[in-house]
A = this chain, B = another copy of it.
Amino acid sequence: MSDVAPEAARELNVRSQDPLCASASLSHLDDELTPTGHFFIRNHFAIPRLDPSSWALSVWGEVERPFMLRYEDLKGLPSKEVVCLLECAGNSRSTMQPPAEGVPWDHGAVGTARWRGVPVAAVLEQASLRPNATNVLFEGADFGKERTAPGVLAPTEGSYAMSLPLEKALHPDTMLAYEMNGESLPAEHGYPVRLLVPGWYGMASVKWLVNIRVLNQPFRGFHENDYYVFVAEGERDTPIGQRVTTIRVKSLITWPGRGGLIPTGTHRIRGVAWSGQGVISQVEVSTDNGRSWHQAALQEPQSPYAWQRWEYQWEVRKPGYYLIRARATDDKSNTQPLQAPWNFRGYAVNSTHTVPVTVRPGD
């Protein structure tokens, strides 16, 4: 079940080999669309190698007409394109103090791609939901023993599965995606078909999808209720915490990089910003560690689910040691904190990204 980092991770920074987890360098996140080779990879188990000629998606449970959907059938249905960002729930975890458990992600577990697929709603309509349907469970072909601690595997095998409340499953942009940036999904991103849940952290966008089961009650599963949950420090009789869902407002500085050395003069500080709750309404930049803030120029959103690029012209006349910060606010008035609330597993870290830069006398 061991994965050797595939060719696909060649331009990424590998954080874990087995399962394969790899993040992008910030300098590669400077574009509207992230090339697939620079798109982060977060697996839980070995990559399943599925053959689309034998692949089929079971649609069953609280439906009148359970059926199996074949790959060619899916591709024959009316499809749509969505430009959508995915961010790993653990992105930026390594910047949290005290330290959290889990893959020590830097900031590069995020990317924006163009996805093509078929709305889940169209497939569920074909199956005809029963009136008691409340939740929909999505299951991937990937399975194994989850690592519950460094070197500690869970006692039993399980597959990767996540549920959505019915309303989210039926959202017109929640889709069965089969293309990424104009090509079939690569194996490491869920070939042949993955779920895409715009606005939620990546853990919900189940890859290598093989099963859609409509439920008449909430699902109780390991990844959903024991793993991707906010838990506080302290004694605890039950391990269940609040589930991680919607992406928090956030921005990253893609240039300059940590430890950059630049001359006095005028520089284009730039980056990307996003929120799972709306579009970005402003990005502010501080070059004095948050004492004063300046409005950045903000690109119009290309989609409600994409990041927006921003830039700020910095005229710096005095050499010195600068801490550059960026802070995004969305149109629902959510804004980034200087320090995101701590949680034991280090999820949803959206503290203002801070980059130390040395300014030397100009030439």
Q: Is the CB of A236 within 8 A of B152?
A: no
Considering only residues 72-115 of chain A, those with a C-beta below 8 Å from chain B are: 94-95, 97-102
Q: Is the CB of A320 within 8 A of B99?
A: no
Give Cα A148 to B321, complex, Å.
13
Q: Is the CB of B261 within 8 A of A149?
A: yes
Instruction: Tell me the minimal C-beta distance from A59 to chain B in angstroms.
Output: 37
Contact with B along A254-273 (1 / 0, CB 8 A): 00011111000000000000
| Contact among B94, B102, B289 with A233 in the assembled complex (CB-CB below 8 Å) | B289
The yes or no answer to A336 lying at the interface (CB within 8 A) is no
Contact with B along A215-259 (1 / 0, CB 8 A): 000000000000000011111110100000000000000000111
Give Cα A288 to B232, complex, Å.
12
| Contact among B94, B344, B358 with A101 in the assembled complex (CB-CB below 8 Å) | B358
Q: Is the CB of B101 within 8 A of A95?
A: no
Q: Is the CB of A259 within 8 A of B102?
A: yes
Which residues does chain B contribute within 8 Å of A97, judged by CB atoms?
Answer: 95, 97, 339, 351, 354
**Nearest-neighbor residue (CB-CB) of A257 within chain B:** B150
The yes or no answer to A322 lying at the interface (CB within 8 A) is yes
| Contact among B101, B239, B356 with A259 in the assembled complex (CB-CB below 8 Å) | B101
The yes or no answer to A355 lying at the interface (CB within 8 A) is yes
Q: Which secondary structure dominates chain A's binding surface?
A: loop
Known: A101-B356, A356-B344. A236 touches B320 (CB 8 A): yes
Contact with B along A316-334 (1 / 0, CB 8 A): 0011111101000000000
Q: Is the CB of B321 within 8 A of A231?
A: yes
Give Cα A8 to B148, complex, Å.
32
Give Cα A361 to B259, complex, Å.
45
Which residues does chain B contribute within 8 Å of A148, judged by CB atoms?
Answer: 261, 358
Q: Is the CB of A98 within 8 A of B323?
A: yes
Which residues does chain B contribute within 8 Å of A354, judged by CB atoms?
Answer: 97-99
Q: Is the CB of A258 within 8 A of B150?
A: yes
Known: A150-B257, A261-B149, A344-B356. A233 touches B321 (CB 8 A): yes
Q: Is the CB of B257 within 8 A of A319?
A: no
> 17 more A-B contacts (CB under 8 A) besides A148-B261, A233-B322, A344-B358?
A95-B97, A97-B354, A98-B289, A99-B258, A99-B355, A101-B258, A101-B358, A149-B358, A231-B321, A233-B288, A234-B288, A234-B322, A235-B318, A236-B321, A237-B319, A321-B344, A344-B356
> Can you identify 21 A-B contacts, CB atoms within 8 angstroms?
A95-B99, A97-B351, A97-B354, A98-B356, A99-B258, A99-B356, A100-B356, A101-B259, A101-B356, A102-B259, A148-B261, A149-B259, A149-B261, A149-B358, A150-B257, A152-B261, A233-B321, A234-B321, A235-B320, A236-B318, A236-B321
